[in-house]
Amino acid sequence: MARMDAVTNQYLKDNIVFADAVNYTLHGGRQVIRPEQLKDLDTALYLAEEAANKAVKHKPDVVKAYTAKEDA
């Protein structure tokens, strides 16, 4: 199972694939999230911030930030 998780995580690291998966799952296939709006986040850093509040089991998942709108 760990091997399948590693392969899946590697596949989802691609912003195009990730955006397509989220759009299909959450938006019925409409192109709401675009790949250029996504930014990779460091999972270890994310877990370290959460660890301050509670004990968190290390999970090497794909974590992305989404920017819907930026000020010019």
**Residue range 44-58, pLDDT digits in tens:** 666 666 666 665 555
Question: pTM of the full predicted structure?
Answer: 0.65
pLDDT, tens digit (0-9, with 9 covering 90-100), for 10-53: 888 899 999 999 999 999 999 999 999 999 887 666 666 666 66
In a domain, 47, yes or no: yes
In a domain, 71, yes or no: no
State which residues form the domain around 44.
2-66
Alpha carbons 52 and 36: distance in angstroms, whole number: 31
In a domain, 15, yes or no: yes
Q: Which residues contact 50 (CB under 8 A, 6 or more apart)?
A: 56
When divided into structural domains, the chain yields a total of 1
In a domain, 72, yes or no: no
In a domain, 39, yes or no: yes
